[in-house]
């Protein structure tokens, strides 16, 4: 039971940010090196042991395609969401084998299918390298030199670590530049598909129910990891809880939240509100309409575009809700007040006073970002060239240029320590569809013309006197880059061979590389580096004034969150924390059993009777955001009680500020998973493997 | 058979514009006062008589909701497209009676349902009033005075005509200001629904097949007109052709093409390409995503938003294809060349020379339009306030202001001669749905904040410290304008009562009226009036140099087009001019019989066997554009052979330039209509009434 004064704070919906008091509630995406031990002890009387934390950390699996997961058996069984695995499922699918829609079940190890380009990461160790990074950046350096020096030291630290440990080594920027940590990951690149349900139940309710609650989704997917072609054994995994968590129970979420903006200054948030979000939403709306129209033309089109369309719709809904938060004066006024409080405290402190300028430095960098925004988005982010084949061409062109430089001087993604992961994607055998490529590229070239202007030199040089449609057609039909062998050949060939290539997509990538690099350089030197320097000052001021018992914004790196299983009030009605399997059938009936509210045949006529009362999905107050999809939900005993697959619509404001008034993380209950595996899918071996893990 | 040199010209795809030579082909949306008699005689050996023309003109019906139609029986039976009638069907529907989806069939006159706000117009006479309009605008007047004078004389001409003839009287601007014609319409406001098929067959193939060919749609709908509460008798109607038109046969299309931009200067077209189209497409994409997401939430939501969503998707597809035309250098280069040719001819002519400045005047006006574009779109066009209830509030506020002025000085839509039509819409009992209103208004207020800026005074005053969502909720839930009686009360109340009203939507309309009127005033004085003056000069120059045997851009007024029933080549394949009823079944199978390729039960199990070989849809080369939907297709004998319901995707460039290389108008065949009425729907009385008309 929480002390009564907390309730009032929570009713405001917008608790104070980053102040380690009661107002924190269940806030925080905590580093494993700095977990909220004091809070847990004081409010939940729970003290996690080092062994408990270590098992969580090493059982957690990052999906490099953009999600989280966990080992749930010593035999290397990984569970994640269906919508996280969907990228791999889509790439294994063909017109005759739609694994996304129809699901998959390997009854034996032999039937498992190897994913084409999936990379999983397990965080083995971390090291604070802030001092070394900052030492490389001298006080009197220009922004350009500072950016170069910071990149060089980062690339070098990673390379040294890789050489020494053979582990994937990434320097992670925390607190927007306040700290730099070296993360070492064990990497799995031989990942095989074990089980996926039909999309109709994995994503039951579709886009309308996405980010909503109550829900009834079996959003799961299983893989096995292999090493040297053989099933891997893993030391750390999460034992399964058959009964799951009960109401008000304390639970933990371990995963990789992708990105939050809680530490942004008000000016930075205003830029997100006025420029960044509206601009990206315009592109998203356009792509959603394009892909929806494309998908409706035939069932095969729908299959080809499915995973991409899901991603776009998911982003659209999340962005719109987050933008609504930014457009809500209640939130922005609170942010302004908090910022003023911190700045005022700073100004009163003679040693910190000088750092108050940091807010102005952020504003200057943001102004610069705003100035270059259109070119930056179109050229360097590539919204003008929405095509897989163009991305491949660009990477090949850049590899040739970057390989000729010292590792320290390379653009981040071409650093030596990242080469294996880069090639895993670049040489992927994932199918590429000409018609879809043409549709996407034509539309984005049209947008390029519209946004940069018909007379823009790069627009003219790109289109070469053709319409966007005709030029897209020529580029896609003419390129040989669909052939992975050809990609490998080009990757080896070096700059002069690339310049001689008559491949039209390579030629286009070569053509637009100089202006793209130029705007990237401006961004890195005049936006990113100054932001890092300014936010480092703000972070230090925060630490000095508010204390260091805090957590950084999300960066798609491993975090620990916690909360209680708890319902909430909405429109005057109490939303209970659970749904049941029986509720799925009622929900389908309520929507006339029409798509996306159709239950698959396997559920309508299960081989064994389904217990309608089995808890299906549940909500908790843990602090999550996109990237947490697939995160394990754990009880105090370290057992697996569920899998995060969504947040409700009220949770999307967590991008900027934590609240547990209504915001909830949404999970599939561990009981429902076993019930479905055994009674719907007859996946006895899989259920047995999970339950063997439970015996641990 | 056409002379051989024509073929070559046509292969270019972009024939010359407005030059009365062979290159014209079947081009033209001709005025009934200036039909292409010479061309028809020379190329088709056909001479339309005055009686033939008069019967066509008076049989043609304009749907004020935005389409065309025709009388096909002396008993006042009107046929139009299902998608033209859909606005009326939607307004007559309720959760328990979905006339749009399920169709309707009144077996007797008693079963017919009166439409809530449908107005039909029949063009009775036209009069050239160019001299009188231009005489009112003195040479030395400022643009503001010229605009005022032109508006005053126009309002006055219409009022005089209405008083004299009791006919709806509209002054139509032709050649962008080159001529002004007074059109007098007989008005029908008691219109009753007779028959509509299910949307599944009316719009078979849905958005994916929209603007495509081959097609298989029964896109029809029947109404009866009434006068004084009794069935009307009509003197003019089109007798039905049971066998329809044959390949290569000359056919005519009579209808109301909405808008074309063929006479626009290149600068004007560039503005459409760079600003107007992209800007409106952004709003369209956003609304399509919003309404699609809203519709997916429940079957009832889908029903509520159906007609509006169709309209948006239809506009999106048309605009994108037209924009592709503007972004095609082949078209723009040709436009530039044509413009240069005309300007050069002008400069060589000492009497016309001075008018060459008109192109610069157009550019100046376009620059001004570009400058005010955002405010103009948001405030005066109301994209910031996407709500039926807001539109009603704005009209009520403006009626109060405009009624206090002389008729001559009023804004166009509040002129006395338009009052009946305005009230027909304003006091409509069409249902308004709170949840849909909130969703639309919240989204558009968010867009307002984004486009005008969070600190814009009108944004701040509109939102009053709330988020867009909260403010939309407050406005929609708080207004009493859903109640038609309340609207009537407010309409009578006058300005001071309106100012005292505590209705939040009225208050909002009052609040934003001054800046909206201001930007409108700027638009009318600095954009519209200068464009009219400049285009009048350009039109006169054209007449002088190219001759007067030409036609003006479309203005949603009655036009005569003509062409041949003819297939075309696409991707190396011959597309035949016809499809058959049997083809619909095959097309459904090809798409797995999934929506929108599901045939209704009535077609799958018709009471009488369907002749699979009956021609279903067909294409012809007639020059059409949006607004022509529902237009009758006529043979030389003046018989009804089909109904226009679409153009193929290649036809959408007709907005800017005529081509018959691939562009085709798409119609339902008259045989298919009778076949379906008799064998699928058992609509014997209706088929009999049509066939009685045939006996004429």
Strand partners, B667: B618, B644
- In chain A, pLDDT over 70 holds for what percent of residues? 96
- Given a contact cutoff of 8 angstroms between Cβ atoms, the answer to whether A422 and A395 are in contact is yes
- Give the domain ranges of chain B: 4-119+189-261+552-694, 121-188, 266-543
Grade residue B548 by pLDDT with cuts at 50, 70 and 90: confident
For B595, nearest residue in chain A (alpha carbons): A296
- Residue B24 pLDDT: 54
The rounded mean pLDDT for chain A is 94
Is the pLDDT score of B6 beyond 50?
no
Q: How far is the C-alpha of A445 from the C-alpha of A505, rounded, in Å?
A: 13
Distances (CA, A) of A42 to A23, A25, A38, A561, A631: 14, 12, 6, 16, 26
DSSP letter string, A502-567: --HHHHHHHHHHHHHHHHHHHIIIIIIHHHHHHHHHHHHHHHHHH-S---PPP-SS-EEEEEEB--
- B306, B290, B106, B294: which is closest to B206 by C-alpha? B306
Reading the block at residue B39, the tokens are 């061309």
pLDDT beyond 60 at B15: no
Reported as a single tens digit per residue, the pLDDT across A469-504 is: 999 999 999 999 999 999 999 999 889 889 999 999
Cα distance between residue B258 and residue A205, in whole Å: 40
CA distance A23 to A658: 10
Separation of alpha carbons B254 and B557, rounded Å:
10
| In B427-561, alpha helices (H) | 434-452, 457-463, 468-478, 484-493, 495-500, 504-523, 529-546
Chain A contact for B434, CB < 8 A? no
Q: Please list every residue in chain A whose beta carbon sits closer than 8 Å to the beta carbon of residue B293.
A: 207-208, 317
CA–CA min distance B641, chain A (Å): 30
Gap between the Cα atoms of B612 and B119, Å rounded: 37
Q: What is the CA radius of gyration of chain B?
A: 25
pLDDT of amino acid A24: 54
Residue B19 · residue B264 · CB < 8 Å? no
Tell me the average pLDDT across B409-438: 96
Q: In terms of CA atoms, which chain A residue is nearest residue B332?
A: A467
The residue behind tokens 């190329």 is: B43
- DSSP 8-state symbol, B203: T
Q: What is the DSSP letter of A234?
A: -
Please give, rounded to a whole number of angstroms, the shortest distance from the CA of A284 to a CA of chain B: 9
- State chain B's mean pLDDT as an integer: 94
Q: At what angle do helices B484-493 and B419-426 cross, to 10 degrees?
A: 140
Contact B467 A591 (CB under 8 A): no
| Residue contact B468–A327, C-beta within 8 A | yes
Contact (Cβ atoms closer than 8 angstroms) between residue A662 and residue A648: yes
Flag if A274 and B454 touch (Cβ within 8 Å).
Answer: yes
Cβ contact B220:B197 at 8 Å: yes
What are the residues whose beta carbons fall under 8 Å from the beta carbon of A49, sequence distance 6 or more?
none
In this predicted structure, what is the pLDDT of residue B694? 62
Average the pLDDT over B594-605 and give the result. Answer: 96
Arithmetic mean of pLDDT, B206-229: 97
| Those residues with Cβ within 8 angstroms of residue B142's Cβ, 6 or more apart along the chain or in another chain | none
Strand, helix or coil at B188?
Answer: strand
H helices within B232-276, ranges in order? 266-271
Structure tokens at A182: 């070296």
Residues of chain B numbered 66-125 and touching chain A (CB < 8 Å): none
Rounded distance, CA B387 to CA B374, Å?
19
Burial A379-407 (b: 16+ CB within 10 A, else e): bbbbbbbbbbbbbbbbbbbbbbbbbeeeb
Expressed in angstroms, the distance from the first to the final Cα of chain A is 32
pLDDT average, residue stretch A449-457: 97
The tokens for A73 are: 């058996």
Band (pLDDT 50/70/90 cuts) for residue A15 is: very low
Q: Residue A640 and residue A243: Cα distance in Å, rounded? A: 10
Torsion over CA: B667, B669, B674, B675 (sign): negative
Query: Is a pLDDT exceeding 60 seen at residue A17?
Result: no
Backbone angles phi, psi at B668, to 5 degrees: -85, 135
Q: Which two tokens stand for residue B311?
A: 């309209």
Q: Is the pLDDT of residue A10 over 90?
A: no
Q: What number is the average pLDDT over the span A205-231?
A: 97
- The mean pLDDT of B449-463, rounded to a whole number, is 97
Q: Name residues 478-507 of chain A within 8 A of B (Cβ).
A: none
DSSP state of B60: E
**pLDDT of B14:** 31
Token pair 């400045």 in the structure block, residue: B357
The residue to which tokens 């010209």 are assigned: B9
CATH of B4-119+189-261+552-694, one of 1.10.10.10, 2.60.40.10, 1.20.120.430, 2.40.10.120: 2.40.10.120
Q: Is the dihedral of CA B404, B408, B411, B414 positive or negative?
A: positive
Burial B113-141 (b: 16+ CB within 10 A, else e): bebbbbbbbbbeebeebbebbbebbeeee
* H or E stretch covering B657: none
Q: What's the whole-number mean pLDDT along residues B271-277?
A: 97
Residue B647 in contact with residue B631, Cβ under 8 Å?
no
From CA A486, how far away is CA A499, in angstroms rounded? 15
Quote the pLDDT of residue A497.
Answer: 87
Q: Give the count of Cβ contacts less than 8 A between chain A and B.
A: 90
Spatial CB neighbours of A393, under 8 Å, sequence gap ≥ 6 = A479, A481, A503, A505, A506, A508, A509
| A3 has a pLDDT exceeding 90 | no
DSSP one-letter string for A82-121: HHHHHHHHHHT-BTTB-HHHH-EE-SSGGG-EE-SS--EE
DSSP symbols for A645-674: EEE-GGGGGGGT----SS--EEEEEHHHHH
| Residue B693 CB neighbours (<10 A) | 19
Residue A562 structure tokens: 């916690």
Q: Look at residue A549 in the predicted model and tell me its pLDDT.
A: 86
Contact criterion met (CB < 8 Å) for A273 and B299? no
Q: Which helix (H) or strand (E) element contains residue A569?
A: strand A568-570
Give me the pLDDT at residue B164, please.
Answer: 98
Do A223 and A194 touch, CB atoms closer than 8 A?
yes
Choosing among B98, B286, B656, which should be mutated to test the A contact, i.e. which has the most A CBs within 10 A?
B286
Nearest chain A residue to B465 by CA distance is A329
Q: Is B575 helix (H, G, I), strand (E, B) or coil?
A: strand
Is B574 an 8 Å CB contact of chain A?
no
Task: Identify the pLDDT of residue B145.
Answer: 97
Residue B313 predicted with pLDDT over 90: yes
Q: What is the pLDDT of residue A694?
A: 62
Residue B449 · residue A328 · CB < 8 Å? no
Q: What percent of chain B is modeled with pLDDT above 90?
A: 93
Closest CB to B467 among A206, A317, A329: A329
Could you tell me the two tokens for B346?
């002008």
Model confidence pLDDT, tens digit, residues A358-375: 999 999 999 999 999 999
Q: Which of B689, B676, B583, B641 is nearest to B231 (CA)?
A: B689
pLDDT digits (tens, 9 = 90+) for B105-132: 999 999 999 999 999 999 999 999 999 9
CB B677 within 8 A of CB B670: no
Which residues does chain A have within 8 Å of residue B449's beta carbon, measured at their own beta carbons? Answer: 327
Distance separating alpha carbons of residues B79 and A593, to the nearest angstrom: 36
pLDDT, residue A22, reads: 41
Q: Quick check: A548 pLDDT over 50?
A: yes
Angle at A330 between CA A328 and CA A333, to 5 degrees: 105
DSSP letter, residue A247: T
Strand pairing category for A221-227 and A77-80? antiparallel
Q: To probe the interface with B, which of A206, A335, A450 has the most B CB atoms within 10 Å?
A: A450
Prediction ipTM score: 0.92
Nearest-by-Cβ selection for A296 from B207, B467, B470: B207
Residue reference for tokens 């001669």: B417
What's the start-to-end Cα distance of chain B, in Å? Answer: 32
**Tens-digit pLDDT profile for residues A264-291:** 999 999 999 999 999 999 999 999 999 9
* Interchain CB distance below 8 Å, B324 and A466: no
């Amino acid at each position: 039971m929480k002390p009564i004064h907390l309730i009032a704070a929570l009713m405001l919906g917008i608790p104070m940010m980053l102040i380690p008091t009661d107002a924190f509630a269940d806030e925080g995406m905590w580093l494993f090196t700095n977990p909220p031990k004091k809070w847990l002890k004081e409010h939940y009387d729970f003290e996690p042991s080092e062994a408990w934390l270590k098992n969580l950390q090493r059982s957690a699996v990052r999906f490099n395609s953009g999600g989280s997961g966990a080992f749930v058996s010593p035999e290397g069984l990984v569970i994640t969401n269906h919508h996280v695995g969907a990228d791999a499922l889509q790439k294994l699918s063909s017109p005759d084998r739609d694994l996304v829609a129809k699901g998959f079940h390997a009854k034996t190890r032999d039937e498992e299918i190897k994913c084409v380009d999936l990379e999983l990461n397990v965080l083995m160790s971390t090291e604070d390298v802030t001092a070394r990074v900052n030492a490389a950046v001298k006080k009197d350096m220009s922004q350009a030199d500072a950016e170069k020096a910071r990149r060089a030291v980062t690339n070098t630290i990673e390379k040294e670590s890789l050489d020494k440990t053979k582990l994937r080594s990434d320097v992670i920027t925390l607190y927007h530049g306040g700290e730099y940590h070296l993360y070492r990951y064990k990497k799995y690149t031989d990942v095989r598909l074990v089980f996926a349900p039909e999309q109709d139940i994995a994503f039951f309710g579709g886009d309308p129910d996405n980010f909503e609650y109550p829900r009834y989704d079996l959003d799961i997917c299983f893989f096995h990891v292999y090493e040297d072609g053989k099933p891997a054994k893993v030391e750390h995994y999460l034992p399964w809880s058959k009964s799951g968590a009960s109401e008000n129970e304390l639970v933990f979420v371990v995963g990789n939240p992708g990105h939050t903006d809680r530490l942004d200054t008000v000016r930075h948030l205003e830029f997100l509100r006025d420029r960044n979000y509206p601009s990206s939403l315009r592109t998203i709306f356009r792509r959603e309409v394009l892909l929806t129209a494309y998908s409706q033309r035939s069932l095969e089109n729908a299959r080809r575009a499915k995973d991409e369309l899901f991603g776009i719709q998911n982003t659209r809904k999340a962005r719109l809700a987050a933008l609504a938060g930014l457009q809500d004066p209640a939130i922005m006024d609170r942010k302004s007040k908090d910022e003023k409080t911190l700045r005022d405290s700073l100004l009163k402190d003679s040693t910190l006073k000088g750092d108050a300028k940091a807010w102005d430095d952020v504003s200057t960098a943001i102004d610069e970002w705003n100035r270059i925004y259109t070119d930056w988005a179109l050229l360097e982010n590539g919204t003008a060239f929405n095509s897989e084949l163009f991305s491949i061409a660009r990477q090949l062109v850049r590899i040739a240029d970057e390989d000729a430089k010292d590792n320290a001087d390379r653009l981040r993604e071409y650093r030596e320590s990242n080469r294996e992961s880069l090639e895993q994607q670049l040489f992927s055998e994932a199918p590429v569809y000409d018609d879809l490529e043409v549709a996407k590229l034509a539309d984005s070239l049209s947008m390029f013309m519209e946004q940069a202007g018909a007379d823009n030199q790069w627009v003219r040089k790109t289109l070469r006197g053709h319409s966007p449609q005709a030029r897209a057609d020529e580029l896609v039909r003419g390129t040989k880059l669909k052939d992975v062998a050809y990609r490998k050949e080009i990757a080896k060939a070096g700059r002069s061979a690339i310049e001689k290539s008559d491949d039209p997509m390579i030629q286009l990538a070569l053509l637009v590389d100089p202006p793209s690099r130029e705007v990237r350089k401006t961004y890195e030197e005049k936006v990113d580096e100054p932001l890092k320097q300014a936010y480092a000052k703000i972070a230090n001021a925060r630490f000095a004034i508010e204390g260091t018992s805090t957590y950084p914004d999300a960066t798609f790196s491993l975090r620990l969150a916690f909360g209680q299983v708890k319902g909430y009030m909405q429109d005057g009605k109490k939303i209970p924390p659970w749904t049941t399997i029986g509720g799925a059938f009622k929900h389908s009936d309520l929507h006339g059993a029409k798509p996306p509210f159709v239950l698959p045949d396997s559920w309508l006529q299960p081989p064994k009777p389904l217990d309608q009362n089995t808890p299906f999905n549940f909500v908790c107050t843990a602090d999550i955001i996109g990237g947490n999809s697939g995160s394990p939900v754990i009880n105090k005993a370290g057992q697996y009680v569920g899998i995060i697959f969504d947040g409700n619509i009220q949770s999307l404001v967590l991008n900027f500020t934590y609240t547990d008034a209504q915001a909830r993380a949404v999970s599939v209950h561990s009981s429902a998973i076993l019930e479905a595996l055994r009674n719907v899918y007859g996946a006895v071996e899989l259920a047995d493997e999970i339950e063997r893990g439970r015996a641990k």
